[in-house]
Amino acid sequence: MAKQYRRIVVKVGTSTLTHPSGRTNIREMEHLVRVLSDIMNRGIQVALVTSGAIGVGVGKLGLPARPKDTPGKQACATVGQCELMYMYDKMFNEYSHKVGQLLITKEDVEDSQRRGNLVACFDRLFEMGVLPIINENDAVAVEEIVYGDNDSLSAIVARLIHADLLIILSDIDGLYDADPRTHPEARRIPRVTEITDELRRACTGAGSELGTGGMETKLRAAEIAGRDGIPTIVMNGTPPENIYQALEGADIGTIFERMGSNA
């Protein structure tokens, strides 16, 4: 029987939310918002970790490419974040859901007092029936832009709010035993219960393209969430109805659960 989830975190990335030009992918975004609204109507609490601030900023500012310098990226993030939240607010409103924005940095999580404030805010938002939408505060979190990633952030949020599931939406179907773009025979790995050195190498090692699909950060996220026993499902976010299947316990994507680690 499918597990009954109480509170989940869903992470969506820039590639889902934007066209290659950086302009918002309205169709994908609307579709995702509809599914998440329906899931909340079922009584499941959802927190959404969204990327896309820099990408959307680039599109909105009409820049030819993503800036390479940090202040340029920060500036794009401030513009894109407004646009993203404007769109989410408008779209979730259509289904009578309210959203709240939380822009956080590593310091907010590492400092115990600030972490406490953050957790209290999350708790109150859930009590009020508000959907928290989280991104890193890219305007000030310089190290985020240089090294950071929202996969890890989503796992940190999952731990902070004691979620019982983390879903990372990707543009590939899950973790494969070889790069599916270059190895047509590659097979999806449905379930991972231990992050072994071999797996780590497959996702990061030179010569493997898995890492370039962002698998390295997803593996790290699964590891972080796993420390509190929170399972992570990495799966294709297109179509977003895949989330229903994940909640029903169907064989979709790659589920990381009951994880040990030999690291």
Per rule CB under 6 A, is residue 16 in the interface with ligand GLU?
no
Which one of residues 35, 53, 224, 243 is an interface residue with ligand GLU (CB under 6 A)?
53
Q: Which is nearer to ligand GLU, 119 or 142 (CB)?
A: 142
Query: Residue 37 interacts with ligand GLU (CB under 6 A)?
Result: no
Q: Which is nearer to ligand GLU, 53 or 87 (CB)?
A: 53
191 by Cβ neighbours in 10 Å (0-12 / 13-18 / 19+) ranks as: middle
Interface residue with ligand GLU among 28, 108, 149, 216 (CB under 6 A) is 149
What are the two backbone dihedrals, phi and then psi, of residue 19, each rounded to the nearest 5 degrees?
Answer: -80, 165
Collect all residues with Cβ–Cβ distance below 8 Å to 6 and sequence separation of at least 6: 44, 45, 164
Spatial separation of the C-alpha atoms in residues 54 and 135, rounded to whole Å? 11
Q: Does 54 bind ligand GLU (CB under 6 A)?
A: yes
Going by the DSSP 8-state scheme, the letter that residue 212 receives in this structure is: G
> Which of 135, 232, 242, 254 touches ligand GLU by CB under 6 A?
135
The DSSP H or E segment spanning 50 is: strand 45-50
Q: Does 242 bind ligand GLU (CB under 6 A)?
A: no
Query: Minimal distance in Å, beta carbon 79 to ligand GLU?
Result: 11
* Site membership for ligand GLU, residue 39 (CB under 6 A): no
Backbone phi, then psi, for 31, in 5-degree steps? -60, -45
Q: Which residues lie near ligand GLU (CB under 6 A)? A: 13-14, 51-55, 77, 135-136, 138, 149-150
